[in-house]
């Protein structure tokens, strides 16, 4: 266990325990100054604080006529002598005593705060206020420190008690540490009591006392009860128990998380200070500034857990950081430092050669550069995010309006994942407009409302004009400018067409839109209807002839090369002589119906038919 100091207090002859002797007298300036027209200073007689905490000492003063002070001096008294601690100018603290280095701060009310007070700080503190017009006033406060006592580590402590109840005969109890039996010596004591109960059975209680060290912080103790049964001895063991050991720190470590080699701009970094003492000491953090001075960062850290968190670090966050571990028991102070390196990429720039205006057909070279202590990789991407090249340079040849785009140079460092910066540059190709699409030729009808479209590309952005009146709508589409003209078709427009003219400061382009008369389908419909009517007429006529034939009103016959005007035939009767099959009959009917004689090759059976 740790030894701890009791109440301590300083006097003119050194440090004492216990009581509070009076201050050495006389001590100039310890009484309030009350003379008229003088600076008056008032302070609390005593300020009490626990060891290791922050002491706040107030210094209240008044200056006639609401005057201002020129300087405030703080002293402590040791062996009847004053030793300056610091001086306070308006808005500035001047530390002059190395024993208080980094522990002093002044509030807006001119109070003095001493952080992490030690036993050496238990002494009178003097506040002296100096005014150029009203002289000097001063007063003092006695700073008293306290800390709780701790057991003496040289005295064996009770580790555990083992109790065996209701056994006969009396059992034996042995103690073990980490599985090995303990034997009594000057560091291990065992106290044992045996009680015979009213039942004549025995209760045995054994208490283990031992001196422990830091090595026992993970030790496990248990007891074993050895008892007898007929013809045999048996053993019953208890559960393991551990003890809490307090010991001062011997080593301290300072770690950078997540990893000191992978810290990049924008990260949140933790500096973790660890000590091997129990309880953990109080931790303070500092960063080295110019001229070997140290900036106190303790207010940003958790003094109990020993963690300092740096948010959104940048290049200026790099430097040497120090952790101090103060053991409040023996006032031993250990420290450890670590170098924090914040990896960065800065000054990303893109140079375009030539820098003069670019025209269609030209070539341009883009060069990317950046500053960093790391090895860098360069990648080029277009406006859609597509990777187009690697390396510090990008060459674009035979430029066109379509080439015009925003290109970005992305700079990364493979050794530090996630570290990257980028720079964007616009490549603008200039030239007079180029019409890429028009709605020509366009089939229209007179009096119809139509949309005429003209699409062009150019830089600077052109304007679109039409040679006829109408309603226009202009919009951008993938670097192209498009114009829609809504107009009603008349005879003049149908004959002359429309003209689209695209103009910018570098020139003009124009194209003619031809309008063609779209014939109505009426004439075609009439022809189709006429054909259908003719087919129906022929069909009806054929049906009538066939019907008359079946009724015997029409006679058809075949007699070689018989003449239809043969005188023997009666003119009032039609005689049909058929000597072929049915198909020949149908052929004869068709001949009679059409009134034309079909070729011999088209007649079935090569027969002559006469109707």
Which CATH number do you get for residue 82? Answer: 2.60.40.10
Please tell me whether residues 388 and 473 are part of one structural domain.
no
Please tell me whether residues 277 and 290 are part of one structural domain.
yes
Res 514 pLDDT > 70: yes
Note whether residue 474 is domain-resident. yes
Please tell me whether residues 110 and 202 are part of one structural domain.
no
Q: What is the mean pLDDT of the chain?
A: 80
Please tell me whether residues 449 and 486 are part of one structural domain.
yes
Last residue of a domain, one of 124, 146, 168: 146
Q: How many CB atoms lie within 10 A of CB 131?
A: 19
Res 586 pLDDT > 70: no
Note whether residue 394 is domain-resident. yes
Please tell me whether residues 361 and 453 are part of one structural domain.
no
Please tell me whether residues 448 and 392 are part of one structural domain.
no
Least confident of 21-30, 78-87, 285-294, 518-527: 21-30
Q: How many CB atoms lie within 10 A of CB 267?
A: 19
pLDDT value of position 155: 58
Kindly report the pTM of this predicted structure. Answer: 0.49
Region 78-92: mean pLDDT is 87
Please tell me whether residues 303 and 217 are part of one structural domain.
no
Please tell me whether residues 363 and 411 are part of one structural domain.
yes
- Give the range of the structural domain holding residue 354, as residue numbers without chain letter: 346-427
pLDDT value of position 521: 53
Q: How confident is the model at residue 453 (pLDDT cuts 50, 70, 90)?
A: very high
Note whether residue 128 is domain-resident. yes
Q: How confident is the model at residue 500 (pLDDT cuts 50, 70, 90)?
A: very high
pLDDT value of position 596: 43
pLDDT value of position 519: 65
21 vs 117, higher pLDDT = 117
Note whether residue 56 is domain-resident. yes
DSSP secondary structure letters along 264-316: BTT--EEEEEEES-BS--EEEEEEE-GGG-EEE-GGGEETTTTEEEE-S--GG
pLDDT value of position 151: 54
Least confident of 84-88, 148-152, 368-372, 376-380: 148-152
Note whether residue 211 is domain-resident. yes
Please tell me whether residues 356 and 305 are part of one structural domain.
no
pLDDT value of position 301: 86
Tally of domains within the chain:
5
Q: Which residues of 501-523 are buried (b: 16+ CB within 10 A; e: fewer)?
A: bbbbeeeebeeebebeeeeeeee
Last residue of a domain, one of 403, 427, 451: 427
pLDDT in tens, 187-201: 899 999 999 999 999
Per DSSP, the three-state class of 105 is strand
Res 70 pLDDT > 50: yes
Q: Which residues, in sequence order, are bridge partners of residue 228?
A: 233
Q: How many CB atoms lie within 10 A of CB 215?
A: 9
Query: Of all residues in the chain, what percent are helix, strand and coil, respectively (each to 5)?
Result: 15, 45, 40
Please tell me whether residues 303 and 378 are part of one structural domain.
no
Q: Are 428 and 459 in contact (CB under 8 A)?
A: yes
Per DSSP, the three-state class of 59 is coil
Per DSSP, the three-state class of 259 is coil
Please tell me whether residues 69 and 96 are part of one structural domain.
yes
- Checking 195-202 for CB contacts under 8 A at 24+ apart, the result is 197/166, 199/166, 200/168, 201/165, 201/166, 201/167, 201/168, 202/164, 202/166, 202/167, 202/168, 202/169, 202/170, 202/171
Q: How confident is the model at residue 555 (pLDDT cuts 50, 70, 90)?
A: low
Note whether residue 560 is domain-resident. no
Q: Are 201 and 195 in contact (CB under 8 A)?
A: no
Least confident of 69-73, 148-152, 281-285: 148-152
Please tell me whether residues 422 and 435 are part of one structural domain.
no
Note whether residue 598 is domain-resident. no
Last residue of a domain, one of 122, 146, 170: 146
The Cα–Cα gap between 160 and 176 comes to 11
Note whether residue 529 is domain-resident. no
Q: Which among 90-94, 269-273, 459-463 has the top mean pLDDT?
A: 269-273
């Amino acid at each position: 266990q740790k030894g701890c100091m009791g109440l301590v207090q300083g006097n003119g002859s050194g440090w004492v325990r216990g009581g509070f002797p009076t201050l050495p007298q006389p001590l100039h300036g310890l009484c309030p100054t009350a003379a008229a027209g003088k600076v008056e200073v008032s302070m609390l007689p005593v300020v009490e604080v626990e060891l290791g905490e922050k002491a706040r000492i107030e210094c209240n003063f008044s200056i006639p006529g609401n005057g201002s002070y020129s300087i405030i001096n703080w002293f402590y008294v040791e062996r009847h002598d004053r030793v300056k601690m610091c001086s306070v100018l308006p808005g500035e603290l001047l530390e002059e005593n190395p024993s208080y280095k980094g522990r002093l701060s002044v509030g807006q009310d001119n109070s003095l705060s001493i952080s992490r007070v030690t036993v050496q700080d238990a002494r009178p503190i003097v506040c002296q206020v100096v005014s150029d017009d009203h002289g000097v006033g001063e007063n003092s406060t006695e700073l008293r420190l306290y800390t709780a006592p701790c057991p003496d580590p040289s005295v064996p402590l009770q580790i555990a008690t083992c109790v065996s109840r209701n056994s006969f005969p009396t059992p034996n109890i042995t103690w073990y540490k980490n599985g090995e039996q303990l034997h009594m010596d000057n560091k291990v004591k065992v106290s044992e009591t045996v009680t015979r109960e009213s039942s004549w059975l025995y209760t045995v209680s054994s208490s283990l006392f031992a001196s422990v060290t830091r090595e026992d912080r993970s030790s496990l103790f248990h007891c074993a009860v050895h008892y007898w049964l007929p013809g045999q001895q048996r053993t019953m063991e208890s559960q393991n128990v551990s003890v809490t050991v307090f010991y001062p720190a011997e080593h301290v470590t300072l770690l950078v998380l997540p990893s000191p080699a992978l810290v990049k701009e924008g990260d949140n970094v933790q500096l973790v200070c660890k000590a091997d003492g129990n309880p953990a000491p109080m931790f303070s953090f500092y960063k080295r500034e110019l001229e070997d001075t140290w900036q106190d960062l303790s207010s940003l850290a958790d003094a109990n857990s020993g963690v300092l968190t740096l948010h959104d670090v940048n290049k200026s966050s790099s430097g040497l950081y120090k952790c101090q571990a103060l053991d409040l028991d023996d006032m031993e102070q250990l420290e450890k430092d670590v170098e924090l390196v914040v990896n960065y990429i800065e000054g990303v720039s893109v140079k375009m050669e030539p820098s003069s205006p670019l025209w269609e057909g030209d070539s341009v070279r883009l060069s990317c550069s950046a500053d960093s202590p790391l090895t860098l990789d360069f990648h080029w991407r277009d406006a859609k995010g597509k990777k187009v090249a690697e390396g510090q340079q990008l060459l674009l040849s035979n430029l066109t309006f379509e080439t015009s785009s925003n290109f970005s140079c992305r700079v990364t460092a493979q050794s530090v994942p996630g570290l990257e910066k980028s720079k964007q540059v616009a490549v603008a190709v200039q030239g007079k407009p180029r019409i890429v699409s028009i709605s020509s030729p366009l089939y229209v009808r007179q009096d119809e409302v139509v949309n005429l479209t003209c699409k062009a590309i150019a830089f600077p952005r052109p304007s679109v004009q039409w040679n006829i009146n109408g309603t226009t709508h202009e919009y951008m589409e993938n670097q192209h400018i498009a114009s829609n003209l809504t107009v009603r078709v008349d005879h003049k427009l149908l004959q002359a067409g429309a003209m689209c003219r695209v103009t910018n400061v570098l020139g003009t382009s124009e194209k003619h839109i031809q309008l063609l008369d779209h014939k109505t389908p009426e004439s075609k419909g009439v022809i189709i209807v006429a054909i259908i009517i003719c087919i129906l007429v022929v069909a009806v006529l054929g049906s009538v002839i066939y019907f008359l034939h079946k009724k015997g009103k029409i006679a058809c016959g075949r007699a070689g090369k018989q003449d239809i005007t043969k005188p023997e035939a009666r003119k009032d009767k039609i005689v049909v002589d058929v000597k072929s099959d049915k198909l020949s009959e149908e052929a004869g009917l068709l001949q009679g119906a059409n009134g034309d004689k079909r070729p011999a090759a088209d007649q079935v059976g090569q027969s002559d038919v006469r109707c």
